[in-house]
Amino acid sequence: MAALPQQPTILSFEDARHVVERHATEVGPGQVETEQLLASTGRVLAKPIVADRDFPPFRRAMRDGYAVRARDLTQLPANLEVIAEIKAGATPEDLPAEVRPGQAAAIMTGAPTPDGADAVVMVEYTSLSRSRVTITRAVESGDNVASIGSEGRQGDVLLSAGARIDYTAIAAAAAVGQNSLSVFRRPEVAILSTGDEVVEVSERPGPYQIRNSNSYSLAAQVKEAGGEPRMLGIARDESQHLRRLVQQGLEHDLLLLAGGVSMGKYDLVEQVLAELSAEFFFTGAQIQPGRPIVFGRAREKYFFGLPGNPVSTMVTFELFARPMLEALSGLTPRKLTFLCARLKSEIKTKTGLRRFLPGLLSGEFERAEVELARWHGSGDVASTARANCYIVIPPDRERIAAGEWVAVMRR
């Protein structure tokens, strides 16, 4: 029998996460492809979005009101002659040659500010009588006028490659006239479940068998994180079968295994990977659920051995596999951040592990509240599905009182 991984290395959560983050800087995205503007939502930008002209391209009024010379308003109320009305979409011919001292032009949001005027007074501070306007509030030069190029000069990078294309990126692309975007190809992520007791969803399970939920939850997480899942099915708890599928998995960009990494006699994942000369960066993290998580590299591909209990599989994907997948997608790396919420009822636990326990986030606006979901351990998919977050409990806390702030990982 071949050797087991060099030395079992069990890291703190933070150290384990940093190890993954460091390795994630070693990988890059695949090829670049072109996608229609809207279809690129959720993908990763491969080429920057560049301003095709100055933004804004003209001195854009930011409010409905009157374009004025700010200096005309040093004495209030001021009474000015209204010489024009300028609508959004006005043509150059619609504009007065100049707004001269003592004059103003009625102007609408989005319209070009005429020469001579250097500010817009909001209509709320004015009253119009025939062709004269009385203004009761002063402005400073530049107020309510977006100057040419203030948001970006022609040729400026508005958004760099490596950004996730969300609705704000879509807006930036649309604003510069890009009907399509260059995006990175989605990384292919092989998903392999293990276990003699595990049967496919479509099969009728025997009395001591359970259905394969892990391959599907992982595939959904992979998709959500921007990857392309490749389902390798279920490996039996038998070295040869497992090895064949692991080898197949290592042909993809990333390999996720679920199950078979605990201390049981038939937990063969590490052994099989060691036989394939894998390097192991860690073989456990001080977390619950998910303590036996394994991270390594074989045949120049990274793999994660995720513990098979369904909630462990889900949580360890989020904590460790996601940043690697994001790096393979070309996404600029980002740190893991948690929200804070007030604990609704006391939590008692044991020290030693950082815990990510299914929770129910509620409350409203600035008053986020959270409580533990009632669950029956890391096999309990149903309560986790009814929860909406994970409460993060530091390893040194035995008791957290109601009303204390706790960290929350959103789902």
Position among 126, 144, 182, 212 found at the interface with ligand AMP (CB under 6 A): 212
- Whole-Å CA distances, 411 to 43, 203, 213, 387: 19, 30, 18, 9
C-alpha span between 316 and 225 (Å, rounded): 14
Residue 193 engages ligand AMP in binding (rule: CB under 6 A): yes
Is 95 or 261 the residue whose CB approaches ligand AMP more closely? 261
The token duo for 15 is 């150290």
Closest distance to ligand AMP from the beta carbon of 62 (Å): 56
Q: Please tell me whether residue 216 adopts helix, strand or coil conformation.
A: helix
Closest distance to ligand AMP from the beta carbon of 355 (Å): 18
Contact (Cβ atoms closer than 8 angstroms) between residue 285 and residue 9: no
Other beta carbons within 10 angstroms of residue 295's beta carbon come to: 26
Provide the pairing of β-strand 210-211 with 198-199. parallel
Contact (Cβ atoms closer than 8 angstroms) between residue 391 and residue 408: yes
Position among 147, 150, 213, 271 found at the interface with ligand AMP (CB under 6 A): 213
Nearest partner of 318 among 224, 206, 193, judged by Cα: 224
Residue 232 engages ligand AMP in binding (rule: CB under 6 A): no
Q: Of these partners, Mg ion, ligand AMP, none, which one is at the site of residue 5 (CB under 5 to 8 Å by kind)?
A: none
Tell me which residues in 117-176 interact with ligand AMP (CB under 6 A). none
Residue 284 engages ligand AMP in binding (rule: CB under 6 A): no
The stretch near Mg ion (CB under 5 A) out of 51-59, 69-77, 248-256, 258-266 is: 258-266
Q: Of these partners, ligand AMP, Mg ion, none, which one is at the site of residue 197 (CB under 5 to 8 Å by kind)?
A: ligand AMP
Residue 56 engages ligand AMP in binding (rule: CB under 6 A): no
Residue 307 engages ligand AMP in binding (rule: CB under 6 A): yes
The stretch near ligand AMP (CB under 6 A) out of 212-220, 240-248, 324-332, 341-349 is: 212-220
Closest distance to ligand AMP from the beta carbon of 189 (Å): 16
Residue 259 engages ligand AMP in binding (rule: CB under 6 A): yes
Ranges of H-type helices in 7-136: 13-24
Measured torsion, CA atoms of residues 294, 299, 300, 305, in degrees rounded to the nearest 10 = -20
Position among 5, 56, 116, 259 found at the interface with Mg ion (CB under 5 A): 259
Other beta carbons within 10 angstroms of residue 84's beta carbon come to: 17
Closest distance to ligand AMP from the beta carbon of 411 (Å): 19
C-alpha span between 214 and 102 (Å, rounded): 74
235-271: b or e for each residue (b if 16 or more CB lie within 10 Å)?
A: bebebeebbebbeebbebbbbbbbbbbbeeeebbbbb
Position among 195, 229, 310, 323 found at the interface with Mg ion (CB under 5 A): 195
Other beta carbons within 10 angstroms of residue 21's beta carbon come to: 17
Residue 262 engages ligand AMP in binding (rule: CB under 6 A): yes
Residue 260 engages ligand AMP in binding (rule: CB under 6 A): yes
The stretch near Mg ion (CB under 5 A) out of 87-95, 188-196, 291-299, 331-339 is: 188-196
Q: Which residues bind ligand AMP (CB under 6 A)?
A: 193, 195, 197-198, 210, 212-215, 258-260, 262, 264, 267, 307-310, 379
Q: Which residues bind Mg ion (CB under 5 A)?
A: 195, 259-260, 308
